[in-house]
């Protein structure tokens, strides 16, 4: 069997005819396998969903308990047979509950990696490379200009700035699922013990992370009345974490002389930071950078690399230079949340 | 170099003017000579490296990276220095991080053959930010939102003095400006302004606003034509050795005299003239389009000098011999200017005439028809009026209450968006440069759009986001950074384009060239088929 018979790129997403399932479908389907909880991969309205317990919990939190007809938990490492095809969920290191999906049929193995990263993340299980025939990868940061520095160094930059400007509030834009919690954990690892303040939009997911046993320390939601009560001096010297869209909102301007920070792989590019009025860019990403994309592709030893979204042309070109078959799939609809920014949304130069 | 890189990096992200001033002042205060002097030179455009050019950087990166990946990356990042800084293969610990004075000396003194190896060794030793700063230094365009003026203001703050005092001694100084810092820090005398032909900061005007005429008394103002040329300052002086120095400066104090020997030769009297650079043929001012063909050329040929004779229409006299006239009133300076030009007796310099008027109504009539109000055959080069208070001294900068510009109303035409190109720098992820066209009858007899101009401003940031989204959703074809946008009679986007003037042009398919086009309104409501036709524009062409 050819790999392109086992998994077919369709407008709804990757489709496996032998099992009659879609992976990360972008429109409602009968049966869906979901890699992780970001809204461009995990959508509501499917007939049945198979995903990790964390991903199911995230979907229920965001869309309500009725987000799918029926649900089934995929335990990491365990094989689920659907039709004649074996499916196995393996950690992807992207956000809490994120998984790669290994698709296997008669000795042909395809790995759908979903979104992934290789850098250590205290809030989720690390990426496990699986040797395969076809590796399906993202390429959000698939250009050689994207080399993420160690996240700990970027966190130190933030804490240095907090020490330097004790009279100002540091407002950090960070994606509400994954990035925000990872940032909190990194800040705690760096020894910062003051309370961390969060925008209301980050609250529920953060509680879910904490309920899953991830220590984030003292995290407090900012109530509408808090700032009125303490006046202009409220939150001076504190760190406030909010969704990226809020850093340019009126909401952020009510803090005393705020320093605007943004935690994202896009912050590598100066123009991106300046577009968003970011004064303190923090290059912290939930996606593999250029070097890690290459290292991962080499590690899984696949002869064919299919590229779902991001800078697919560049990564496919590189594959060619090292003798691998690289193929952009031009899947539409990914990158609506988190760092994988779609072309049509320049204003949301996100996470 | 690391500290200089840190400064540039911080400046690039600091949006507030006062924040930038504080950063630069702090750097200058805490950094020793000669490092700080070279940094100041870099920010004021005072460093020129003959043998280090962007082409060399491209060659270096081409040796180290895949050309396709480089092209894709450059298109994405939109800035050569930044792309190279990020893509450069890291070799940490390869060398000692270079010091700024060594870098400057190396860039100034090394020959063409040794330069590539030298720059590569520095790039190996620096991190991303250091590489970026070095490349910015080499390519000469820092693009960190710091003007020469702002840097000088920060330097002046070390001595608690206004920037203009630094400006006055500036042209006698050389990097690394040790004498300047000694003076600013009270350790040395004020540097001699030894330059016999220094630049003097120009006086700028405010745009006239609704209601101004109700407040102003016509009897207190003089009016002149506003010429559509290049504002220049022509300065001549005699050195202690008896030789003469003649310089031509742009409005920001850049020297441009080398390209205009016809003007510098003709300035045989010592003084400082403020006026408009124009091209004149047979006693008539030529269009800005014609002037442009004389600009931005390092070498001027005899043919260029004969075909595009340069001219200055003078409107102010800032100094005569050694005497500074800037404290005098407009009326007094004008009398001195007329006498000066009479003595000079050169056809290269003439007086910008005053427009006679007794009331604002009379001036309104003159502005609407310059040709019959004294501008005659030069009327095409008039872009409005200047109003100057009769008692105004010549003050640097844009002082309030003295000079006003009252520009001619812009012409408007509805055009259809045809192509969009990604911007650079801050706009590198937006399609922000637009080519637009109007309708004409094509060769087949059917209507077709023909491009008539290109514009990249006139819209707000919010509108840019909307247009960008529109471009991405309505792309017909992609050519590298350019997208062809749907443009049929029923489907497409109409821009109301404002422009200042129109010239015939052989370089454009439409045979027309717009002066200063910008997007004045986005007509989301208007069907492209109702946009203007080429005949409307042709009717606006000068006789």
Instruction: Please say whether the beta carbons of B235 and B218 come within 8 A.
Output: no
pLDDT at B94 over 70: no
User: What local confidence, expressed as pLDDT, does residue A346 receive?
Assistant: 29
Instruction: Please say whether the beta carbons of B255 and B263 come within 8 A.
Output: no
Q: Is A274 an interface residue toward B (CB < 8 Å)? A: yes
Query: B446: which DSSP letter?
Result: S
Instruction: Please say whether the beta carbons of B233 and B249 come within 8 A.
Output: yes
- β-partners of residue B477 are B484
User: What local confidence, expressed as pLDDT, does residue B336 receive?
Assistant: 97
Question: To probe the interface with A, which of B9, B11, B12, B13 has the most A CB atoms within 10 Å?
Answer: B13
On the 0-12 / 13-18 / 19+ scale of CB atoms within 10 A, B1 is: buried
**Cα gap A267→B236, rounded to integer Å:** 50
Q: Is B82 an interface residue toward A (CB < 8 Å)? A: yes
Would the CB atoms of A147 and B65 count as touching at under 8 Å? no
**Cα gap B502→A25, rounded to integer Å:** 54
**Smallest CA–CA distance from B469 into chain A, residue:** A344
Would the CB atoms of B86 and A271 count as touching at under 8 Å? no
Would the CB atoms of B83 and A346 count as touching at under 8 Å? no
Would the CB atoms of A317 and B72 count as touching at under 8 Å? yes
Q: Report pLDDT digits (tens) over B309-334.
A: 999 999 999 999 989 999 999 999 99
Q: Report pLDDT digits (tens) over A79-111.
A: 999 999 999 999 999 999 999 999 999 999 999
Distance from CA of A112 to the nearest CA of B (A): 25
User: What local confidence, expressed as pLDDT, does residue A341 receive?
Assistant: 41
User: What local confidence, expressed as pLDDT, does residue A347 receive?
Assistant: 29
Question: To probe the interface with A, which of B8, B23, B72, B145 has the most A CB atoms within 10 Å?
Answer: B72
Q: Is B69 an interface residue toward A (CB < 8 Å)? A: yes
User: What local confidence, expressed as pLDDT, does residue A339 receive?
Assistant: 58
Residues 407-426 of chain B with CB under 8 A from chain A are 425-426
Among A278, A344, A349, the residue with its CB nearest the CB of B13 is A278
Q: Which CATH superfamily is domain B206-407 in?
A: DNA ligase/mRNA capping enzyme (3.30.470.30)
Q: Is A157 an interface residue toward B (CB < 8 Å)? A: no
Instruction: Please say whether the beta carbons of B30 and B36 come within 8 A.
Output: no
Would the CB atoms of B66 and A321 count as touching at under 8 Å? yes
Q: How many CB pairs under 8 A join A and B?
A: 76
User: What local confidence, expressed as pLDDT, does residue A227 receive?
Assistant: 64
Distance from CA of B495 to the nearest CA of A (A): 21
Among B66, B82, B465, the residue with its CB nearest the CB of A347 is B465
User: What local confidence, expressed as pLDDT, does residue B16 receive?
Assistant: 82
**DSSP codes, B270-302:** -EEEEEEEEEEETTEEPPHHHHHTTSS-SS--H
3-state helix vs strand vs coil in chain B, percent to 5: 40, 25, 35
Distance from CA of B151 to the nearest CA of A (A): 20
Angle between helix B115-125 and helix B128-139 axes, rounded to 10 deg? 150
Which option is the CATH number for B2-139: 1.20.1250.20, 1.10.287.3510, 1.10.1840.10, 1.10.3260.10? Answer: 1.10.3260.10
pLDDT at B3 over 50: yes
Q: How many C-beta atoms surround the C-beta of residue B491 within 10 A? A: 12
Can you give the three-state secondary structure of B7-71, one letter per residue? Answer: HHHHHHHCCCHHHHHHHHHHHHHHCCCCHHHHHHHHHCCCCCCCCCCHHHHHHHHHHHCCHHHHH
pLDDT at B425 over 70: no
User: What local confidence, expressed as pLDDT, does residue B393 receive?
Assistant: 96
Mean pLDDT, range B32-43, rounded to an integer: 95
**Cα gap B462→B470, rounded to integer Å:** 13
Among A145, A275, A347, the residue with its CB nearest the CB of B76 is A145
Among B72, B79, B429, the residue with its CB nearest the CB of A346 is B429
Among B86, B429, B473, the residue with its CB nearest the CB of A145 is B86
User: What local confidence, expressed as pLDDT, does residue A247 receive?
Assistant: 84
Domain A3-145+286-348 top-level CATH class: alpha beta
State chain B's mean pLDDT as an integer.
Answer: 90
Mean pLDDT, range B153-170, rounded to an integer: 89
Q: Which CATH superfamily is domain B411-538 in?
A: Nucleic acid-binding proteins (2.40.50.140)
pLDDT at B269 over 60: yes
Residue identified by tokens 């869309």 is A63
Which residue, among A94, A147, A156, has the nearest Cα to A120 in the 3D structure? Answer: A94
Signed CA dihedral, B331, B212, B355, B321: sign only? positive
User: What local confidence, expressed as pLDDT, does residue A345 receive?
Assistant: 32
User: What local confidence, expressed as pLDDT, does residue B93 receive?
Assistant: 65
**CATH topology for the A151-282 domain:** Rossmann fold (3.40.50)
Distance from CA of A99 to the nearest CA of B (A): 30
Q: Is B17 an interface residue toward A (CB < 8 Å)? A: no
Which is more confidently placed, A169 or A230?
A: A169
Angle between helix B54-64 and helix B80-87 axes, rounded to 10 deg? 30
User: What local confidence, expressed as pLDDT, does residue A350 receive?
Assistant: 32
Q: Report pLDDT digits (tens) over A168-177.
A: 999 999 999 9
On the 0-12 / 13-18 / 19+ scale of CB atoms within 10 A, B542 is: exposed
Confidence of residue A351 (pLDDT cuts 50, 70, 90): very low
**Cα gap A106→A99, rounded to integer Å:** 22
Q: Is A88 an interface residue toward B (CB < 8 Å)? A: no
Domain ranges of chain A: 3-145+286-348, 151-282
Q: Is A120 strand, coil or helix?
A: coil
Confidence of residue A342 (pLDDT cuts 50, 70, 90): very low
> The pTM is what?
0.68
| CATH topology match: B2-139 vs B411-538 | no
**Smallest CA–CA distance from B430 into chain A, residue:** A346
Q: Report pLDDT digits (tens) over B486-502.
A: 999 989 999 999 987 78
Q: Is B84 strand, coil or helix?
A: helix
Residue identified by tokens 């290994």 is A102
* Lowest-confidence region among A64-78, A246-260, B97-111, B334-348: A246-260
Q: Is A145 an interface residue toward B (CB < 8 Å)? A: yes
pLDDT at A348 over 50: no
Q: Report pLDDT digits (tens) over B511-537.
A: 888 888 999 889 888 889 989 999 989
Domain ranges of chain B: 2-139, 206-407, 411-538
User: What local confidence, expressed as pLDDT, does residue B455 receive?
Assistant: 92
Q: Which helix (H) or strand (E) holds B215?
A: helix B212-215
Among B13, B68, B77, the residue with its CB nearest the CB of A145 is B77
Residues 6+ apart with CB under 8 A from B41: B47, B104, B175, B176, B177
Would the CB atoms of A271 and B65 count as touching at under 8 Å? no
Confidence of residue A243 (pLDDT cuts 50, 70, 90): very high
Which is more confidently placed, B267 or A272?
A: B267
Q: Is A278 an interface residue toward B (CB < 8 Å)? A: yes
Distance from CA of B87 to the nearest CA of A (A): 5
Q: Is B487 strand, coil or helix?
A: coil
pLDDT at A2 over 50: yes
- β-partners of residue B313 are B276, B350
Residue identified by tokens 């949006």 is B15
In B184-309, DSSP assigns E strands to 206-207, 221-227, 230-238, 244-250, 271-281, 284-285
Q: What percent of chain B has pLDDT over 70?
A: 97
**DSSP codes, A130-174:** ---SEEEEEETT-STT--PPPHHHHHHHHHHHHHH-TTS-EEEE-
Instruction: Please say whether the beta carbons of B475 and B485 come within 8 A.
Output: yes
Query: A176: which DSSP letter?
Result: T
């Amino acid at each position: 069997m050819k790999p392109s018979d086992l998994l077919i790129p369709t407008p709804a997403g990757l489709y496996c005819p032998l099992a009659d399932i879609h992976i990360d479908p972008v429109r409602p389907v009968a049966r869906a396998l979901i890699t992780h909880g970001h809204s461009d991969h995990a959508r509501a309205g499917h007939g049945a969903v198979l995903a990790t317990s964390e991903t199911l919990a995230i979907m229920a939190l965001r869309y309500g308990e009725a987000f799918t007809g029926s649900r089934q938990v995929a335990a990491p490492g365990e094989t689920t047979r659907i039709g004649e095809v074996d499916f196995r969920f393996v950690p992807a290191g992207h956000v809490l509950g994120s998984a790669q999906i290994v698709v296997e049929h008669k000795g042909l193995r395809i790995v759908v990696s979903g979104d992934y990263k290789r850098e250590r993340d205290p809030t989720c299980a690390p990426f496990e490379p699986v040797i395969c025939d076809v590796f399906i990868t993202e390429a959000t940061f698939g250009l050689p200009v994207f080399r993420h520095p160690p996240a700990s160094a970027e966190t130190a930059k933030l804490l240095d700035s907090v020490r330097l400007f004790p009279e100002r509030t540091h407002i950090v834009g960070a994606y509400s699922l994954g990035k925000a919690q990872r940032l909190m954990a990194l800040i705690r690892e760096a020894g910062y013990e003051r309370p961390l303040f969060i925008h209301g939009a980050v609250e529920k997911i953060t509680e879910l992370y904490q309920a899953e046993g991830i220590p984030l320390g003292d995290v407090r939601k900012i109530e509408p009345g808090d700032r009125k009560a303490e006046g202009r001096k409220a939150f001076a010297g504190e760190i406030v974490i909010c969704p990226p869209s809020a850093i340019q909102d009126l909401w952020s301007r009510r803090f005393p002389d705020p320093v605007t920070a943004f935690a994202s792989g896009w912050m590598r590019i100066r123009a991106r930071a300046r577009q968003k009025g970011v004064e303190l860019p923090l290059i912290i990403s939930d996606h593999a950078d250029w070097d890690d994309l290459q290292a991962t592709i080499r590690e899984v030893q696949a002869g064919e690399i299919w590229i779902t979204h991001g800078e697919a042309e560049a990564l496919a070109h590189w594959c060619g230079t090292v003798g691998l078959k690289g193929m952009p799939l031009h899947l539409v609809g990914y990158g609506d949340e988190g760092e994988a920014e779609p072309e049509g949304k320049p204003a949301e130069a996100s996470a | 170099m690391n500290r200089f890189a840190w400064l540039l990096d911080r400046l690039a992200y600091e949006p507030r003017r006062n924040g930038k001033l504080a950063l630069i002042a702090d750097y200058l205060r805490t950094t020793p000579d000669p490092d700080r002097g070279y940094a100041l030179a870099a920010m004021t455009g005072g460093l020129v490296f003959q043998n280090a050019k962007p082409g060399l950087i491209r060659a270096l990166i081409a040796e180290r990276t895949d050309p396709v990946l480089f092209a894709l990356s450059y298109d994405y990042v939109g800035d050569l220095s930044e792309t190279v800084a990020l893509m450069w293969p890291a070799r940490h610990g390869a060398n000692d991080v270079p010091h700024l004075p060594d870098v400057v000396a190396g860039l100034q003194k090394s020959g063409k053959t040794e330069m590539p190896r030298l720059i590569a060794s520095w790039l190996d030793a620096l991190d991303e930010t250091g590489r970026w700063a070095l490349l910015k230094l080499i390519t000469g365009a820092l693009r960190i939102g710091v003007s020469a003026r702002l840097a000088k203001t920060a330097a002046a703050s070390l001595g608690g003095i206004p920037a203009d005092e630094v400006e006055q001694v500036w042209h006698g100084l050389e990097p690394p400006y040790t004498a300047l810092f000694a003076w600013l820090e009270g350790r040395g005398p004020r540097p001699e302004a030894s330059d016999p032909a220094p630049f003097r900061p120009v006086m700028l005007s405010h745009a006239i606003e609704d209601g101004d005429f109700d407040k102003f008394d016509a009897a207190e103002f003089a009016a002149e034509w506003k010429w559509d040329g290049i504002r220049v300052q022509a300065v001549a002086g005699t050195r202690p050795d008896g030789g003469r120095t003649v310089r031509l400066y742009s409005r920001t104090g850049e020297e441009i005299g080398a390209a205009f020997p016809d003007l510098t030769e003709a300035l045989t009297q010592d003084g400082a003239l403020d006026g408009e650079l124009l091209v004149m043929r047979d006693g008539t001012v030529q269009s800005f389009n014609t002037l442009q063909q004389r600009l931005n050329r390092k070498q001027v040929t005899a043919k260029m000098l004969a075909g595009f004779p340069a001219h200055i229409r003078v409107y102010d006299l800032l100094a005569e011999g050694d005497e500074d006239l800037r404290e005098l009133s407009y009326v007094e300076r004008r009398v001195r200017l007329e006498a000066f030009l009479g003595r000079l007796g050169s056809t290269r310099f003439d007086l910008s005439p005053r427009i006679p008027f007794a009331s604002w109504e009379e001036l309104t009539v003159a502005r609407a028809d310059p040709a019959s109000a004294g501008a005659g055959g030069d009327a095409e080069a008039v872009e409005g009026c200047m109003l100057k208070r009769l008692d105004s001294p010549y003050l640097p900068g844009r002082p309030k209450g003295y000079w006003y510009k009252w520009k001619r109303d812009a012409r408007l035409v509805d055009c259809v968006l045809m192509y969009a190109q990604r911007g650079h720098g801050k706009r590198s992820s937006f399609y922000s440069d637009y080519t637009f066209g109007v309708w004409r009858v094509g060769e087949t007899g059917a209507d077709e759009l023909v491009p008539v101009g290109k514009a990249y401003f006139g819209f707000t940031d919010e509108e840019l986001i909307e247009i960008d989204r529109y471009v991405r959703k309505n792309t017909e074809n992609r050519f590298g950074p350019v997208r062809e946008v749907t443009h049929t009679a029923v489907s497409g986007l109409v821009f109301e384009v404002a422009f200042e003037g129109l010239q015939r042009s052989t370089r454009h398919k439409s045979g027309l060239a717009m002066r200063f086009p910008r997007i004045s309104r986005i007509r989301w409501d208007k069907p492209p088929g109702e946009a203007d036709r080429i005949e409307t524009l042709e009717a606006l062409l000068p006789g």
